[in-house]
Amino acid sequence: MLSLRFNFQVFDMENSSYSFESVWATLQEIGARIEQSRAEADSRRAEADRRRAEIDKEFKALAIQIKATQKELGGIGRNNGAVAEEFFYNSLKYKKRNMFGQKFDKIIKEEKRQTKEGYEDEYDIMLFNGKSVCIVEVKYKADSNDVQQVLRKEKTFRANFPEHNDKKLYLALASMTFHKLTEKACTDNGIAIIKQAGNAVVINDEHLKVF
């Protein structure tokens, strides 16, 4: 006697009301549903892959945009720095040679030097006379971190310019704008403050220290 196990029950194909055709039709329907489920799953996976590809593309475009913006902002920052440096250099060269009770007869800018000891540094503006040297670090917008950069100049200058080690050394921070905390940090460390005032500069050197 032929029997078929289906839905966990044994059906007697001769005595059962289920015919071979009806069982076969049911199996075909189940198979069709399985295929439909597979097709739907494949469709969902394809949609997920497509969406991931779109997101990856959007992230790449965003990364390119961010990089371009950073480059643009960096260019603006460099341009602002160049403007500030040119302003203070011209002001000190043509209008304000008398500082700290002295007259400086020589001024140079953008001097780079490195000794065999490895003290590589760049000096925005330096003023000289027979007895003293003043190093001016220039910023467009100074913050408290710049004060440590100015203080470092004393060490690197003494190593990089041994021919001036017999001279008094002064340090100054020049900026178009100053935060009050930055000014206080300069005052506490004996660094001169040089500010923009219209087309001229104002120098605060009451707290000045000889390095």
Report which of 132, 141, 73, 78 is spatially closest to residue 107, judged by C-alpha positions.
132
Q: Are 131 and 168 in contact (CB under 8 A)?
A: yes
Q: Torsion angle of alpha carbons 137, 140, 143, 149, nearest 10°?
A: -20
In a domain, 162, yes or no: yes
In a domain, 65, yes or no: no
In a domain, 23, yes or no: no
Q: What is the pTM of this model?
A: 0.62
Q: Which domain covers residue 194, as residue numbers?
A: 84-204
In a domain, 111, yes or no: yes
User: What's the CATH code of the domain at 199?
Assistant: 3.40.1350.10
In a domain, 61, yes or no: no
In a domain, 156, yes or no: yes
Q: What's the number of domains the chain is made of? A: 1
Note the pLDDT tens digit of each residue in 56-98. 776 676 666 656 555 554 544 456 668 888 899 988 888 766 7
Instruction: Tell me: pLDDT of 172 over 90.
Output: yes
